[in-house]
Amino acid sequence: MFHSNFLVPQLKSREANSHKGDFGHALLVGGGPGMSGAICLATLAALRCGAGRTTVAARSHTRQIVLSTTPCAMTMSLDEVARGYLAESAAIQLLGKYAPGTVLGIGPGLGREASQDRMVLELFQKWPGTAVVDADALNAISEGPRSWDALAGPRILTPHPGEWDRLSNIAADLPQEQQNAAIELAKRTGMVIVLKSHQTLVTDGNRQYRNTTGNPSLAVGGSGDVLTGMITALVCQKLDPFDASVLAVYLHGLAGDIAHAHLGTPSTLGTDLIEFLPAAFRQYRNA
């Protein structure tokens, strides 16, 4: 629907005297047992999309994997329970890390465990700033109390149809009904919902954006983790949640289009999306 760049939100150019503090702090939580790669992808995407600082808050083993992937991110140790999942008390640790300009991205590779689910629910309710909620963080919310109306700050949900099925109780094979439910919930709660598909819907209940960049090469593990990091970084740079989500979805698909032109399907990986983000930004800036 929207291929022209002038219909996509504009990210301001940086002033000559800019410093990293001007571009926010992405605080990313995820990377449970066996799934550290997901939070690595979200981290690399946040860095490539311009967050001033990026911190990965995770279990000790995941922190080491992140640091071996990139020296550009910081890490934060969180309390753990058995088998390497995060303790409920990690929510208190993370809330203590909040400062204006800190955007929480939670979910990539998180996994499921009872104490960790309680941590997610507490952060979903109490995080004072914007929180981007993805993957198993969405699944934790789908099984918890639905207190949509008592949230401490803006929320961006990024479900694929299966996750939205669990959140909305509308089957994934009913796409129009799923989209209608996303628009209705966003309007009622003020959340932004990014319902991922081959034409991803972004809605705040009053506005709807249906994306047309992207191709089947994006149907690969890690693609959604990259998008979570991108949205988090763009909110860090003072775009409002809807505009940040629209721009991230557009650039994510555009990077996928450029990667596909070079690599084709089925050879495009989640890491390739990150590699082609600079080209996507250049095309976006020059359109």
Cα–Cα nearest to 196, from 160, 242, 232: 160
- Distance between first and last Cα of the chain: 16
| pTM beyond 0.85, yes or no | yes
Question: Does residue 116 carry a pLDDT above 90?
Answer: yes
**Mean pLDDT for the stretch of residues 155-173:** 97
* Cβ partners under 8 Å of residue 277, min gap 6: 45, 48, 49, 230, 251, 255
**68-72, 75-79, 148-152, 211-215: the lowest-pLDDT one:** 148-152
Domain of residue 56, CATH code:
3.40.1190.20
Question: Does residue 2 carry a pLDDT above 60?
Answer: no
Question: Does residue 70 carry a pLDDT above 80?
Answer: yes
Residue 14 in domain = no
User: Could you report the per-residue pLDDT of 12-58, keeping only the tens digit for each?
Assistant: 999 999 999 999 999 999 999 999 999 999 999 999 999 999 999 99
Residue 8 in domain = no
Give residue 148's pLDDT band: very low, low, confident or very high (50, 70, 90). confident
Cα–Cα nearest to 45, from 208, 283, 280, 287: 280
**Mean pLDDT for the stretch of residues 89-111:** 97
Q: Which domain holds residue 39?
A: 21-286
**Mean pLDDT for the stretch of residues 154-160:** 98
Give me the amino acid identity at 230: M
Residue 15 in domain = no
β-strands 192-195, 201-203 pairing = antiparallel
* Percent of residues, the chain, with pLDDT higher than 70: 98
151-154 long-range contacts, CB within 8 A, separation 24+: 151/124, 151/125, 151/189, 151/191, 152/125, 152/126, 152/127, 152/128, 153/127, 153/128, 153/129, 154/129, 154/130, 154/190, 154/191, 154/192, 154/241
How is residue 217 annotated by DSSP?
G
Residue 252 in domain = yes
Per-residue pLDDT at 7 = 79
Number of compact structural domains in the chain = 1
